[in-house]
Structure 1
Amino acid sequence: MAYALKYLSSGLDTPRPLLKWVGGKSQLLDELLNKMPKRYGRYIEPFIGGGALFFASQPQNGLIADSNPELINLYQAVADDVEAVINHLAQFRYDKEQFYAVRAWDWYSLEPSLAAARTIYLNRTCFNGLYRVNKQGQFNVPFGRYTNPTILDADNLRNAATLLQHTQIVCADYKTVLREYTQPGDFVFLDPPYLPVSTYADFKRYTKEQFHEEDHIELASEVMRLHELGCHVILTNANHPLVHELYGAFTLDVLQTKRYISCQGKKREGQDVIVSVPPKKQFQLKLVTALPVQMSNYPSTRYMGSKNKLLDAIWSVASQFEFDTVHDLFAGSGVVSYLFKTQGKQVVSNDYMAMSHTISKALIENSDVTLSSAAAQALLDTPTPGDGFVEMTFQGLYFSDDDNRLIDRLRANIKLMPDPYQQAIARAALIRACVKKRPRGIFTYTGERYDDGRKDLKLTFATQFLEAVATLNAAVFSNGKHNLSLHKDALEVSPKGCDLVYLDPPYYSPYSDNEYVRRYHFVEGIARDWQGVEIQQHTQTKKFKSYPTPFSSRQGATAAFDTLFKRFKDSILLVSYSSNSQPTQEEMLALMGKYKTHVQAIPVNYRYSMGNQQHKVGDNKNQVTEYLFVGGE
């Protein structure tokens, strides 16, 4: 994160506040300056008032704001043309008759510099430096009794102008400012109108705007949002029970202060509270060194939902934690499991799809077993009697009769292999060959109407199989850990021994379906040998019924996430998710927040390369934001 310089380097004298201001923070400056962060992005103060902390800290590229347009005009006029303000102020004197004449002016009708001079003059000569207007918005504080008040301090105005020229000055309510301008790492100082307490109940009469208890409750929700966003926040208020209730999770310092606004001396003692709200720890997509060379050996895939393009982002976030073991509950193509394996982690790779389990058996659990080219050739050549299932069931649908017979031969020979890892490599190679020989690599249609003439479609099936074996062999390696491939429902995987759990479930979206079985039923059938499934003979594609999954509905997905987050509450949670999906981002953060202290959504721009929304590229249906949700302590 880049941080702005905290102080101007111009060498100017520290400017003092331009106005006397009820509730000003001059008495608390030492405490406030000590509590400010040493580094921050931008200084933001949405209740600027007299700006004591702003002028004392002299932030560069700060933002000050207030809902009082006359006050904001003052600061903007000083920034834009301080000499004009000085010239106008030089014409005023401490005189009761002039005071009431100037007070009667309509400041809206004045040029900005004269209106600013009027504001300073009235403030310096009115009773106790109050700012109060009537229902018509007219300043109505009476003339004050002073010996020799300072009306013009040209040097201080010039110093203030130098600072204000580096500052964005906004006339807006605090909510607009906080929601439109704050960024992670910013420092926000909040000095709202105080809650009234018995020791200075009269104070509320002189605040720059009316603030009730419900307003303070709403402000507290904004403070929590800033905390979640990653901002540094300091807030001041009265020592009121509601303040302790609203901000009890943070550091509260109670300080004795004097009040200068009550006509009764016994009410001039008060207690201020300084609330210090640190930023919630933020995980960011940071530049990472190149992924291990071994990653380049992983077989490329067009598998639906594959996170191959997001590996840098996933590791960027995960690497900010200390962990040794990973559970990848929805492994899919297996590429994320493989990523963690290359990083020396002990990996449990799980998926409810048998084809995914087959791949992770061959490349995640397997550490050193490969399948020789001679053994692979023998699988193609050995005429072992088989059941002819593919040839009979899928004739004329996806492959030629010769290819169907070869698939059946491979199926029969693979079953006879004694080594489970060689069997997994051979079956994964068969699956890969089938996918690469299909236009678009899916089985939601029959025939070859999507044949684009690419090389993969021209190679023989036998060649595809042998190349797949070689590709898988090259990806086999040991990371010195005992890794495991599971074929379970994610909700049944034990959280025991899991430091970090990675979740990439089927996304439920109103824009597209998440039926992996519908797309890959043929190769899923190869992985299962069509055991335990019932082919829907009435369908043109001869698919079998999709597996039941809670992620097929919004309500089911919400319940499943809640169950998984609860089940793995003692693990670091890392979730891939899409902006097109439901539950929404806010709902996901709320679900995760039930079980983790720190939760965050990190956006990653990503365009899907496949799916059934290709025709809607123009209206942004497959341009989505991929999120990495993080849950940690």
Structure 2
Amino acid sequence: MEQQILFNNNNYIKAKPVLKWAGGKTQMLDILTQNMPTNFNKYMEPFIGGGALFFELSPENAIISDSNPELINLYRVIAEHVDELIDQLKEMKNDKEYFYMVRAINPETLSNVEKAARTLYLNRTCFNGLYRVNKKGEFNVPFGSYKNPKICDEDNLHAVSRVLRNNTIIQGDYKDILRNYAEPGDFIFLDPPYIPISQNSDFKRYTKEQFYEEDQRELAEEVKRLRDMGCHVLMTNSNHPLVHELYREFDISVHQTKRNINSKGSKRTGEDVLVKAEPFKRKIFVEPLELTEQMNKFPSTRFMGSKEKLLNYIWGVASQFEFETVLDLFSGSGVVSYMFKTQNKQVLSNDYMAFSSNITKALVENNHVTLTENDLEIILNETTPTDNFVSETFQGLYYSDEDNAFIDMIRANLHMLENDTKKSLVLMALVRACLKKRPRGIFTYTGYRYDDGRRDLTLTLKEQFLEAVEAVNGAVFDNEKQNQSFHGDAMTTEQQADLVYIDPPYYSPLSDNEYVRRYHFVEGLVRDWQGVEMQWHTKTKKFKSYPTPFSKRDGAYEAFDRLFEQHQNSIIIVSYSSNSLPTKDDMIEIMKKYKKNVEVVSVDYKYSFGNQGHKVGDNKNTVEEYLFVGY
């Protein structure tokens, strides 16, 4: 960037700060310039202070601002009336009595040039160049007793004037300035009042210059907003735990600096933090977040690949983004969709399994409807004729004759309910009862193996159902959003959202990912075995699995490519396992075709299902669960 330079006796005069400024960044200029972008549109500095970096760069397209009216008046006068200011300064002297006389003048009685001269004079002759006012707003820093302070640096004032004339100078709150003037591609340097590092300082109440803790939090949100709109941001602050907390998703470095505002030389040291926020670039961190109490009401059960134990991590990652709508493409157990609903997001849930999409219809799409005593009387009517399909087809396979008859009774009475949502609630309760009543919760074997005598297995299916109805009713709540549940193919759905969560069947050569094979009974129950191809010759009486690209290695690679392309305009979060294909590096490569930024975080996780049945419990089912994040 071309710098503004004046000539004086054949020497180059480069503009430098005109003020001594506590917390000035002259000593950090090398660090700041090394970390600033090489190309940007305009420069902005809304806490201009002494302006060390601004004058170092001497830009020709900048906006500088501050909330301090005397400071802004000084810069405007230097820009527009520098010769008049110089004339005033030449008349001012370094004398204690004269200092206090000038300090006592009410600046409101002065012209703008006189105000500027007073500001600059007091700054150059007061103690350590501090700017401090009392409760009445009166400048109250004592005389500095310097032998020969440079009150009027005429050459530098002219150089500074040349720089300032090319740029815009505004008085105002930094938030207003940034929201009115910041644009994508701008470089913004923020040097706000620091958080005090003294343990005796009440940082929860205020910081230097009355910059409260809530102001610091608002500033952090503004940095995120600027980053997300495409601005380059550098910010300095003290090395305080709150700074690290607020800016943990950015690049943070700590630098040793000297302080000039302590009377004791031994204490003139400190540590400054530099926060670097590149456009659209964030550092995704892995930190589980507490979920709402409502989440505890979700009626969970065993489900292959359920992310129930990872919800805190999924929300911890997702919460680092601004979004209002979520598309859960493979909703499975429904627990992730439900979690996003508890976080007041509008949720669009989808699954190719009917029993999975029924769960989200009952608890995500549904905001109000519950089952009443009258509904239960209808559903539990034992006089309704049944077709005995379950009793005859699955006799002796999974449940007792009594339990099978109970299922047929529910099936026969279900059409008596006119409300589709109530039908979904009944089916969800029945499915949950069937899964809890079944050892290991799957239907890949027959008989009563793995019966360890626990309570779930001793209850009748009717007792399980009634408990499930109570749990499902208790989980219904209204998040005041129009959530929707879809039963469809994730590869062809036209639904779009701000954030898309993808948790597909994991392809691994060591195990299958056939959900239909494991859950064919409850899937058939929700579909009433309509539209399925029964395999009557099989011992389990399963039906043919649905086609899925994730059943083969090449299909999985192609499927991810298609999904990322389809949702390239959304934030994408993918759950995937370290023992599955595509590999971590392959997944990153595929996602980078469509997303500018790709981050990967990992969580150690132990699945309840091993890769092979006889190896459940050994270390082969302990893997890293990856969360791939594209934005």
Q: What is the TM-score normalised by the length of structure 2? A: 0.56
User: Following superposition of structure 1 onto structure 2, how do residues 429-578 of structure 1 map, counting pairs within 5 Å?
Assistant: 429-496=429-496, 498-578=497-577
Cα distance per residue 1:530-566 (max 9 Å; x no partner): 0111211111100001100000011001101100100
In 2, Cα distance between the equivalents of 1:619 and 1:333? 25
- Superposed displacement of residue 347, structure 1: 0.5
CA distance in 1, matches of 2:616, 2:294: 34
Unpaired segments ≥5 residues, structure 1: 1-28, 39-231, 233-275
The answer to whether 1:325 aligns with 2:325 is yes
Q: Is the 8 Å Cα contact of residues 391 and 404 (structure 1) preserved in structure 2?
A: yes
Any idea what the Cα deviations from partners look like across 1:564-621, whole Å, max 9, x if unmatched?
Answer: 1000000000010000110000010111101111001100110001244354367632
Task: Provide closer, same or farther for how the CA distance between residues 436 and 617 of structure 1 changes in structure 2, counting only shifts above 3 A.
Answer: closer
- Give the letter aligned to residue 458 of structure 2: K
SS state of the match for residue 347, structure 1?
A: strand
- Equivalent residue letter for 1:432: R
* 2:535 aligned partner, one-letter code: Q
Under a length normalisation based on structure 1, what TM-score does the superposition of the two structures give?
0.56
Q: Does 2:379 correspond to 1:414? A: no
How do 1:274-353 and structure 2 match up within 5 A?
281-288=282-289, 290-353=290-353
**Aligned residue identity for 1:301:** T
Q: Which residue of 2 aligns with 1:216?
A: none
- Structure 2: distance between partners of 1:327 and 1:30: 45
> Residue 431 of structure 1 aligns to a residue in which SS?
helix
Q: Is the 8 A contact 1:349 1:484 kept in 2?
A: yes
Q: How does 1:63-212 map to 2 (within 5 A)?
A: none
Q: Does 1:392 align with 2:392?
A: yes
Distance 1:331 1:337 in 2: 7
Is 1:607 the counterpart of 2:612 in the alignment? no
* Contact 2:288-2:315 at 8 Å conserved across structures: no
Structure 1 counterpart of 2:415, one-letter code: K
- Report SS of the residue matched to 1:467: helix
Other-structure match for 1:355: 355
Q: Aligned pairs, how many?
A: 366
C-alpha separation in 1, matches of 2:277 and 2:322? 26
SS at match of 1:381: coil
Question: CA separation of 1:605/1:402 partners in 2, compared to 1, >3 Å: closer, same or farther?
Answer: same
SS in 2 for 1:350: strand
Distance in 1 (alpha carbons) for counterparts of 2:618 and 2:408: 44
Q: How many angstroms does 1:375 deviate by?
A: 2.2
CA distance in 2, matches of 1:363, 1:617: 32
Q: Partner of 2:578 in structure 1?
A: 579
Q: Percent identity?
A: 60
What does the per-residue CA deviation read over 1:450-480, in whole Å, with 9 as the maximum and x for residues that have no partner? 1010001111111111111110000001100
Partner Cα separation in structure 1 for residue 363 and residue 505 of structure 2: 22
Runs of 4+ in 1 over 6 A off after TM superposition: 276-279
Do 1:579 and 1:585's aligned partners in 2 also have CA atoms closer than 8 Å? yes
> Using a 3 Å threshold, how does the CA distance of structure 1 residues 488 and 327 change in structure 2: closer, same or farther?
same
Q: For residue 348 of structure 1, give the secondary structure of its aligned residue in structure 2.
A: strand
The alpha carbon displacement at 1:277 in A equals 12
Alpha-carbon distance, 1:337 to partner: 0.2
Whether the 8 Å CA contact 1:328–1:348 is kept in 2: the answer is: yes
Structure 1 residues 30, 610: CA separation in 2 closer, same or farther (over 3 Å shift)?
closer
CA distance in 1, matches of 2:368, 2:461: 27
Task: Quote the Cα distance in structure 1 between the aligned partners of 2:30 and 2:495.
Answer: 45
Query: Partner letter of residue 539 of structure 2?
Result: Q
Q: Distance in 2 between matches of 1:484 and 1:281?
A: 30
SS of match in other structure, 1:625: strand
Counterparts of 1:224-263 in structure 2, within 5 Å, are: none
* Contact 2:433–2:464 under 8 Å retained in 1: yes
- Do the aligned partners of residues 284 and 476 (structure 1) sit closer, same or farther apart at CA in structure 2, a change above 3 Å counting? same
Q: 1:589 to 1:444 in 2, by over 3 A?
A: same
Secondary structure, in 3 states, of the residue corresponding to 2:603? strand
Displacement of 1:37: 5.3
Given the superposition, is the C-alpha separation of residues 448 and 412 from structure 1 closer, same or farther in structure 2, using an over 3 Å criterion? same
Indicate if the aligned counterparts of 1:495 and 1:568 stay in contact, CA closer than 8 A. Answer: no
Root-mean-square deviation (CA, aligned residues, Å) is 2.1
How far 1:493 moved relative to its partner? 1.5
Q: Using the alignment, how far apart are the partners of 2:277 and 2:366 within structure 1?
A: 49
Q: CA contact under 8 A between 2:352 and 2:490: conserved in structure 1?
A: yes
Deviation string for 1:37-63 (max 9, x for gaps)? 59xxxxxxxxxxxxxxxxxxxxxxxxx
Q: Which residue of 2 aligns with 1:621?
A: 620
Cα separation, 2, equivalents of 1:277 and 1:432: 47
Contact 1:613 1:622 in 2 (8 A): no
Q: Secondary structure at the match of 1:447?
A: coil
Deviations 1:7-38 (A, max 9, x none): xxxxxxxxxxxxxxxxxxxxxx9985444559
Distance 2:480 2:442 in 1: 36
SS of residue in 2 equivalent to 1:302 = coil
